[in-house]
Amino acid sequence: MVLAIDIGNSNVVVALHDGNSWSQVWRIPTITEAEAALFYEKRLSDLLMEAGVLLGPRPRVVVSSVVPQLTPSFLRLAEHLFGQPALKVAPPIYPKLKLQIDRPNEIGTDLLANAVAAHHLYQQDCIIVDFGTALTFTTVTGEGHILGVAIAPGLKTAIASLFQKTAQLPEVPLTLPETPIGKNTEHAIQSGILIGYVGLVRHMLAEIRREVGEQYIAVATGGLSSILTPLQADFNHIDPMLTLEGLRIIAETQRSE
C-alpha cells in the first residue's frame, strides 16, 4: 500500500493506492501561511481517519513537493502519523531510477514522477504535457533519458494573471467557448486563453517533434488535461493520474532495494 503526497502550487494531492488501484484521492488547497502546518495536520489526520488508513497496515509514504516551505511539515506529519520516515523524492534517489538526468537539481519532482510513469507504462519516446499551475512539456526517450522541458503559464495562471494585473478584466471560468470571436469580456478572455492554448500546445508538440522525431507519442496529464477537448485527438494517452503513478512506482522501486 502506498500513500502518495504531491505538493503542488495550487493543490496538495493525497492519494492511497491499495495495491490494485487508487482507492482514495483527496485534493487540498495549497496554503503557505504561518498556520499551514496545523491546517494540514488536522485536515490530513481527519481524512485518513475517516478512510480507516490510520487503523490498518502502515502504507509506504512518498512525498513530492514543488513548494519547499511545505516539505518539512509534511515529512514530519507523515512520520508522526505512521511512525516511519516518508520517502522524499529528491535528486539523491534519481540515480537509482531508470532515468538519466543531466541536471538533477533543476527538474521538478512532479515532472520526474511523470517521466518515471511514462517510461514504465509506455517504454516509448514520448512528450508529456502536464496541464497544471504551469503548462509543461517533458521530452523523454524510450530508454528513459529526459531530454529537456519547456514551461509556460498554466490555464488558471494565465487567467488569474489577467484578473490581477488589469483593472477592468474579470476572473472567468475555464469553459471552452464555441467561437474564437468573443461577444463579451468573459467570452473574449476564454477565447484568447483556452482556444489560444490549443494552438500553443499543438505548435509546441510540432516543434519538439521537428527536433527529436515524429515517433514521439504525446501523453497528457494534470488536473486541467480534460478541459481543452479539441486536443484529445492530439494525444496518444490522457492520464490524469500519471504523476501519482510515478510516485507509486518510485516508492515501490525504492522499497524493493
> So where are the chain's domains?
2-88, 121-245
**Equal CATH topology for 2-88 and 121-245:** yes
pTM: 0.90
Which of 25-34, 91-100, 194-203, 223-232 shows the lowest mean pLDDT across its residues?
Answer: 91-100
* Chain segment 193-209, per-residue pLDDT in tens: 899 999 999 999 999 99
Residue 225 has pLDDT above 80, yes or no: no
Confidence at residue 46, expressed as pLDDT on a 0 to 100 scale: 92
Q: Which of 6, 46, 102, 110 is catalytic?
A: 110
Give how far Cα 74 sits from Cα of 69, 78, 88, 95, 199, Å.
10, 6, 10, 24, 38
pLDDT tens column, 79-110: 999 999 999 998 878 777 777 777 777 889 99
- Amino acid in the structure at residue 27: R
Domain 121-245, second-level architecture? 2-Layer Sandwich (3.30)
Rounded Cα distance, 224 and 237, in Å: 14
- Cα distance between residue 183 and residue 34, in whole Å: 43
Domain 2-88 belongs in CATH node 3.30.420.40: yes
At 206-219, the pLDDT tens digits run: 999 999 999 999 99
Over residues 231-244, mean pLDDT: 94
The answer on pLDDT for 125 being more than 90 is: yes
Q: What's the pLDDT score for residue 103?
A: 76
pLDDT of 257 strictly over 60: no
- 110: annotated active-site residue: yes
| CA dist., res. 48 & res. 191, Å (int) | 41
- Residue 89 carries which DSSP code? -
DSSP 184: S
Give the residue with greater pLDDT, 60 vs 94.
Answer: 60
pLDDT at 168: 62
Residue 256 has pLDDT above 60, yes or no: no
End-to-end CA distance of the chain: 16
Closest Cα to residue 134, out of 209, 224, 217?
Answer: 224
